Amino acid sequence: MATEQSNRELLAGFTQALKDQLPDERTKYISSFANWEECFAYISDLAGKGERLVLAIDEYPYLAKAKPEISSLLQKAIDASWQDTELYLILCGSSMSFMEHQVLGEKSPLYGRRTGQLKLAPLSYYEGVQFFPRWTREERLMGFGICGGVPKYLELFARYSSLREAVLGEFLLPSGHLIEEPENLMKQELREPAFYNSILGAIAGGATRLNEIAQAVGTESSKLGFYLGNLRELGLIEQEKPVGRGGSRHGIYKIADEMFAFWFRFMPSCRNLIAMGASDRTYEERIAPRLDAFFGHVFESICMQYLKFCVTQGTIQELYSDYGRWWGTNPIKKREEEIDLVLSDETHLLAGECKWQKELVGPSVFQQLEERAALIRDGKDVRYALFSKSGFTEDLPSLGRKDLMLIDLDQLFLIAEPTTTSFDQ
């Protein structure tokens, strides 16, 4: 595993790793290979013995930073020796921009030599909540939402007895692992981190359209495309368009990484308070009262994951091709409307509403959803799904609608149990 060290230290560490895993008389009395060419020649000898040999270099960007020509040396070794052996070379890195451009890109010495690639996605909610088995169900979902499904962040949160303690310990104390995490990642990935921070802060603050973001950061809309493109490439933001309506003018931007969304929503206004030692008051007065409002959009994402799981497992029979939200003008009421969840194909439509609130969901919410779905129905067969944190009023199930799914926290957590393989729709 490469670290931020000098080339000499990394070569010595690599040598030691080889000695630990594959002891040999040739390395018994040396502390380090003289250079990487000698190291790769040694590996060539080992790989030429006809047995499968796996060589994994984690955090490869650190090695490439210390030894810029390392990709060329690997290219030479692959072409001259390794391609005819049983060697299985794995290069890993958490810097997406480096891995995509400097390893997989056309200008990389390694271009065209890969046999496969894998971009690791965040964990799903039904995997992520398993990190917090002792928390309440609401806390488990919110903990997942704040961590964004990243295993390392989930692991950090799992050390605490409650969501409050986790947020305090990791975000609101100077010693917290996440108090500067987005800033550090931006410095690692991008050349102008301050300007990108301004863009993310604007989006987190409610500026979702191109002209709104440009106005918030004090620049022209025409100059934002490059920066927004880089943020999209890194998976930090995404441009969302209403299902069934193409064209960039309908699109809005949102922060795709939930940990970044939480950080840029709360942390900029909390930094001085944290430095003053007012972490407890900061949580109680600045964060806790606004957590439910922040989590509303995260809950929509969790509900969409649930529906996708149902489609994948076949408990929803329709194989929808489009997934997202819808918003637009209601011509009858002459106002903007939106539908939280829309799943669609050529002949079927599923419209869903998500309620992260203390009140029970009743028939009025379903009637409103029916009205909005009629705006985009276009002759399709429609089904409905209502998601509720607190449950449903007694008169809603009594409607007896076979085209209506009612999903509460019990249903959401059925697929979050490690032993569960199926569930009732």
> What b/e readout covers 40-65, taking b as 16+ CB neighbours within 10 angstroms?
bebbbebbeeeeebebebebbbbbbb
Q: What is the pLDDT of residues 44-95, one digit of tens each?
A: 998 888 889 999 999 999 999 999 999 999 999 999 999 889 999 999 998 8
* The two structure tokens encoding residue 147: 């961590």
pLDDT surpasses 90 at 407: yes
pLDDT surpasses 90 at 304: yes
* The two structure tokens encoding residue 128: 């992520």
pLDDT surpasses 90 at 371: yes
Same domain, 249 and 308: no
Instruction: State the average pLDDT over residues 107-131.
Output: 93
At 356, is the secondary structure helix, strand, or coil? coil
pLDDT surpasses 80 at 250: no
* Backbone φ and ψ of 207, nearest 5°: -85, 105
Does a structural domain hold residue 118? no
Does a structural domain hold residue 82? yes
pLDDT surpasses 60 at 267: yes
Does a structural domain hold residue 217? yes
Same domain, 132 and 251: yes
- Residue 230's domain comprises 125-295
pTM summary value: 0.87
Could you tell me the sign of the dihedral formed by the alpha carbons of 406, 412, 417, 422, in that order?
A: positive
Does a structural domain hold residue 420? no
Q: How far apart are CA 222 and CA 203, in angstroms?
A: 17
Same domain, 325 and 228: no
Identify whether the C-beta of residue 42 lies closer than 8 Å to the C-beta of residue 23. Answer: no
Q: What is the pLDDT of residues 201-215, one digit of tens each?
A: 999 999 999 999 999
> What b/e readout covers 288-306, taking b as 16+ CB neighbours within 10 angstroms?
eeebeebbebbbbbbbbbb
Same domain, 135 and 229: yes
Q: What is the pLDDT of residues 214-246, one digit of tens each?
A: 999 999 998 999 999 999 988 899 999 999 875
Q: How far apart are CA 328 and CA 335, in angstroms?
A: 8
User: At CA 349, angle to CA 343 and CA 355, rounded to 5?
Assistant: 60
pLDDT of residue 418: 56
- Mean pLDDT over each residue of the chain, to the nearest integer: 92
Identify whether the C-beta of residue 129 lies closer than 8 Å to the C-beta of residue 413. Answer: yes
Same domain, 167 and 284: yes
Cα–Cα distances (Å) from 83 to 35, 36, 55, 64, 352, in that order, read 21, 18, 13, 22, 52
Q: How far apart are CA 150 and CA 420, in angstroms?
A: 23
Same domain, 14 and 131: no
Same domain, 290 and 162: yes
pLDDT of residue 98: 87
Q: How far apart are CA 372 and CA 376, in angstroms?
A: 7
Element (H, E) at 383: strand 381-388
Identity of residue 173: L
Last residue of a domain, one of 280, 295, 310: 295
Bridge partner list, 392 = 361
Last residue of a domain, one of 249, 276, 295: 295
Overall domain count for the chain: 3
pLDDT surpasses 70 at 249: no
Q: Which residue matches tokens 């995490």?
A: 181
